[in-house]
Amino acid sequence: MNLRLQTPLATAVAIAFGFIILASLLIPDLMDVRNQILNWAILLAAIALFLGFANLFQVHLQKLRNKEKSAYSSILIVAMLVTFAITLWEGSQGVTAAWIFNNIQLPIETSLMAVLAISLTIAAAQILQQRKDLMSLVFIGTVFILILSSGPLFGIELPVFTRTIGPIVNNFLSVGALRGLLIGVSLGTLASGLRILLGSDRPYGG
């Protein structure tokens, strides 16, 4: 299928299914149709997950063929294949699969989170050096208040922060600010969806 025929067809399908889902909010009889379409979407999402796995495998296999960082790619491919085979044989709740998850994946991801904590500490320390605007000062001030109100520091609790200032910031200021940001994000999400329904935004290519 060439590009000329593919683009209008894809757009038509996207608009049609989008309007069916939207119309199902108004027309109760379309609920079954909506559920069916959602089931298809869920199925496609699962297939896409598998395709993501396949792409990961394919990319590193190509690196191995081109001898680009072949050691890293070879370890990754072998580990991927072994884990897949074991999980397929034993099931996701099998002993070996659980051991791999508990002793390899979980510690690695937890360690990355710990590295992130250090990176964010450094970023917070550098923010005043890199930016000199008011928002950066507000940001650093808020960070200090929230850390002081999160609990005792070095075993010493500061009640003025944990009981007064912290709850005000947590329960009122941050909630209001977060709500405002969420409303903006929601409006952006709404506009993005409508652009796709109108056919002017085609993230599926073309």
Stretch 24-63 residues interacting with other proteins (CB under 8 A): 25-26, 35, 38-39, 41-53, 55-56, 58-59, 62
Residue 201 lies near other proteins (rule: CB under 8 A): yes
Residue 96 lies near other proteins (rule: CB under 8 A): no
Give me the least distance between CB of 162 and other proteins, in Å please.
7
Give the per-residue contact string, 116-155, with other proteins (x = CB under 8 A; - = no): xxxxxxxxxxxxxx---------xx--xx--xx-xxxxxx
Of 160 and 183, the one with the shorter C-beta distance to other proteins is 183
- Tokens coding 82: 């072994």
- Which run of H or of E encompasses 162? none
Neighbouring residues of 17: CB distance < 8 A, sequence distance ≥ 6: 37
Of residues 6 through 25, those in contact with other proteins by CB under 8 A are 22, 25
Q: Which residue in 70, 96, 110, 164 binds other proteins (CB under 8 A)? A: 110
- Tokens coding 29: 């009889």
Residue 181 lies near other proteins (rule: CB under 8 A): yes
* Cα(169)–Cα(147) distance, integer angstroms: 12
Q: Which residue in 108, 141, 160, 164 binds other proteins (CB under 8 A)? A: 108
Residues in contact with other proteins, counted by CB under 8 A, come to a total of 102
Phi, psi dihedral angles at 121 (to 5 degrees) = -60, -45
Neighbouring residues of 84: CB distance < 8 A, sequence distance ≥ 6: none
Question: Are 7 and 202 in contact, with CB atoms under 8 Å apart?
Answer: yes
Q: Which residue in 1, 5, 112, 134 binds other proteins (CB under 8 A)? A: 112
* Cα(122)–Cα(128) distance, integer angstroms: 11
